[in-house]
Structure formats: structure tokens, C-alpha cells
Amino acid sequence: MQILHPSGKFDNHARDYAHITVAPLAAAMGAEIVGVDLRILTDAQFAEIRDALFRHKMIYVRGQQLTHEEHEVFSLRFGPFAEDAYTKGVPGHANVHPLIKEAEDKSKMVFGEGWHTDSPFLPEPPSITMLRSVQIPPFGGDTIWCNSALAYACLSDGYKRIVDTLKVHFSLRNVLASVHAAVEISDSPIGRLATTRDAPTLSEDLQRKIRGNLHPMVRTHPITGERALYLDGSYAVGIDGLEPQEAAPILDYLAHFITQAAFSCRLRWEPNMVAVWDNRLCLHQAFNDYMGYRREMYRTTVMGEKPV
């Protein structure tokens, strides 16, 4: 097979599937699934879509005008819904979470800003996230991902031996502080979180997310066995057994290493797209660069497992 990069570690070729067509997006990761209608997928098509997700880490499909119910049905094929750490579902669809930023919202921060994997401060973070677009600004509002399995593969053997032994402390602490500093109060996921800025005490639920959890810095994918770095610049606040000043340079180095441009892909959204990504194998980030325009998206997350 042709190798795309002199390192020999990059290979985002599509597999030769029988029931779907896959068009890779970037050298590092990401792929478009072509020729499917997510409302009427056969089991054979779904099995190949799932395989393509694990291979390419993020997949997307254009031209899918799904109802909330059809979104739920497609999401449930990957597994039961996860706890969503921030958001509140739309009426009648508790697990379909609106991510809507209004044109007049002038917050200096947007939901999902800052590289992250979804809710790693939970004991069993969501495995898969699905995002459906309804209204997209004329420019901006892209999402970017990076392949944290490729990043792990590109570390030296010596550095791999070090990170293989470490556990990361994940917490909502720093993100909550940023939300309190930068977000306007509104009826949006982080707009509601911003209201806790003035609360005399935080709820037990928020305190639980601030206490967070320890997870391995390198996790093994439960289905494919692929190993990937598991840390981010948003929620990773420490390393088990290390002083904060000892942990900070390691976390900082790795958070930058994983998110370098060579390991990334970027999606220019259009209405009626569905993107699906595997939080165990990649990080992602939203952009707050479309002030004055409305962006309307809906999200579901799939229950994950304790990272190992």
C-alpha cells in the first residue's frame, strides 16, 4: 500500500468497502461517506460505516435532512446515549442536544472551543459524538479534529515508554473558569453554565465534574486495540503522582504535539451534514469566528467505557 508520508505512519486510505464509498478528507484522518441515506441504512452498510469511523476517526455524510427522531435512531445504532455533561435535550428528545449560537450572541467563547475530547472528567466518558448541521454561517464555524492515535504512533519509543505508565487527572475546573470569565448568560449550553458564576455554592453535580477522574494517558481502543494519546488542553489538569509544576510541561508538550496541523483535518460545514467521531481516538475543537451569524447544530453522544 502507498505510504502518504515519509514517516510511514500516515495512512488514511479508504478500505475497499462493498456497500459504501469512502473518500478520505486529509492525510491524517477524516473521511466522507458517500452514497448512503442514514434513515434507511442496511446492517451491512452500517457495519462498514462503523469500521470506517474507527479507521478514519471522524466521518461525515452530506445531504442528510434528519428529524430529531431519525438522528436518535442513527445514533442508537452505535450504542445507548451517554450522559451529556453540559447540555439539555430538545423537548421530547432528551438526548438530542441543541448547540445553537445566535447571531447576536457576543460571547468571547463558544461551546467546544479549545481542543478537547468529550467529557473526560466523567468516569466513563462518551465514546462517540454525532453532530448534525441545520444552519451554518456563510463562512467560519468549522470544526477541526486531530488524530491522537497517529500522534501516539509518532512519539519516540522512549517517550512512549514514559507516557504508557502515566494517568491524567481530568477536571471541568479550568473550562468552568473560562466560561465564567467569557460567556454571556443565555439559554444555550454554556450560557446556562455561565449562570453558575454567581451561585453561592456549586451543585454537587458540578463539584463531581470538577473533582473529575484519573484515566490512562494512553488508552487502548476497546474494539480495534489501537492505542492513542488521551489528554487535551482543556480538561487535563494534572498527572497522578506528579507535582503540578512537574506535570505541566509534559501536558503542555503533548497537548501541542497531538494538535499539530499535520495530524488534523478540518470540516467546512454545510446544512444537513452529519459528522461522527470517536472520542477515544481524536480530539476536536470548535471556532468562535462567526459573530453576527447564526449556527444551529444538534448533538448526540454514545455511552463509553472506563478508559484502559
Which residues bind to ligand SIN, rule: CB under 6 A?
A: 99, 111-112, 129, 131, 143, 284, 286, 297, 299
Nearer to ligand SIN, 26 or 163 (CB): 26
Judged by phi (left if over 0) then psi (alpha if -120 to 50, else beta), residue 241 lies in left
Give min distance, CB of 133 to ligand SIN, in A: 9
Residue 97 or 169 having the CB closest to ligand SIN:
97
Q: Smallest distance from the beta carbon of 269 to ligand SIN, in angstroms?
A: 8
Rounded CA gap, 50 and 38, in Å? 12
Beta bridge partners of 298: 98, 132
Q: Which is nearer to ligand SIN, 58 or 154 (CB)?
A: 58
Between 247 and 283, name the residue whose CB sits nearer to ligand SIN.
283
- In the complex, what is the shortest distance from the CB of residue 290 to ligand SIN, in angstroms, rounded to a whole number? 11
Smallest separation (angstroms) from ligand SIN to the CB of 141: 7
CB of 18 to ligand SIN, least distance (A): 31
Closer by beta carbon to ligand SIN, 250 or else 276: 276
* Nearest CB to ligand SIN, comparing residues 50 and 266: 266
**149-187 burial string, b = 16+ CB within 10 Å, else e?**
bbbbbbbeeeeeeebeebbbbbbbbebbebbeeebeebe
Residue matched to cell numbers 470548535:
286
One-letter amino acid for residue 212 of the chain: G
Nearer to ligand SIN, 41 or 85 (CB): 85
Decide if 120 contacts 232 (C-beta within 8 A). yes
* Strands (DSSP E) found in the chain: 21-24, 31-34, 58-61, 97-101, 128-135, 143-147, 167-170, 213-216, 218-220, 227-229, 236-239, 264-267, 274-278, 282-286, 295-302
Q: Which residue has the cell 489528554?
A: 231
Q: Indicate the residue among 263 and 269 with the shorter CB distance to ligand SIN.
A: 269
Contacts 24+ apart (CB under 8 A), 39-48: 39/64, 39/66, 39/70, 39/73, 39/74, 41/74, 41/77, 44/18, 44/19, 45/19, 45/20, 46/77, 48/17, 48/18, 48/19, 48/20
> In the bound complex, what is the minimum distance in angstroms from residue 301's beta carbon to ligand SIN?
9
SS3 at position 118: coil
Residue nearest to ligand SIN (CB): 112
User: Cα separation of 12 and 14, whole Å?
Assistant: 6
Q: Which residue has the cell 452498510?
A: 45
Nearest approach, Cβ of 73 to ligand SIN (angstroms)? 20
Q: How far is the CB of 297 from ligand SIN (least distance, A)?
A: 6
